Copies of this chain bind each other. A is one copy, B any other.
Amino acid sequence: MNPQSTDEIESLSPDECFELLGQAAVGRLAVIVEDHPDIFPVNYVVDHGSIVFRTGTGTKFWNTMRHPCALEIDGFDAGTGKAWSVVARGQAHFIVDLREKAAADALHLDPWQPGSKSHYLRLTLDALTGRRFKATRPDIWNTPLWDARSELFH
């Protein structure tokens, strides 16, 4: 570990990580497909200390359950000038219980992209880590597409 990194990169507590997970709605899920990682954005809800999301029935669906996976969220706090990143690692399980699905729906787990996303998966956590660090170049967060996205709501 580089001493400089240790000084300047702050580890987040599990409580802070959960708070940030609860504030966001879209994360990037990394799964192992054959021998390589793949990533795709998913929307999710936090439910009873685990992460619930919906998916279709493609390759990714099966690979998500076959291997451990990881969900990452990140953001930038303009007030402090600090960026942060949270990674939740664990194993995804297929939700079959209709009451569990209804509970997830009640938390507004609506799919945010088209296509059938009829399956519900629950990521039970093996590890939850987060870090916060001063963005030495905050301008790098500013991209034309992020601008476009924010303009929609301003």
- Indicate if the CB atoms of A134 and B151 lie closer than 8 Å: no
Closest-CB distance, A61 to chain B (whole angstroms): 10
Given A56-B5, A113-B136, A149-B75: A39 and B28 interface contact (C-beta under 8 Å): yes
Tell me the complex Cα distance, A8–B114, Å: 6
A11 to nearest B CB, angstroms? 13
* Cα of A1 to Cα of B56 in the assembled complex, Å: 9
Question: CB-defined interface of A58-90 with B at 8 Å, one 1/0 digit per residue?
Answer: 100000000111111011111100010101010
On chain A, which size bracket covers the interface? 35 or more
Given contact pairs A37-B30, A151-B78, A152-B78, A4 touches B145 in the complex (Cβ within 8 A): no
**Nearest Cβ on chain B to A143's Cβ, whole angstroms:** 5
A154 lies within 8 A of B152 (CB): no
Chain A residues with CB under 8 Å of chain B are 1-2, 4-5, 8-9, 23-26, 28, 30-32, 35-41, 43, 56-58, 67-72, 74-79, 83, 85, 87, 89, 110-116, 133-154
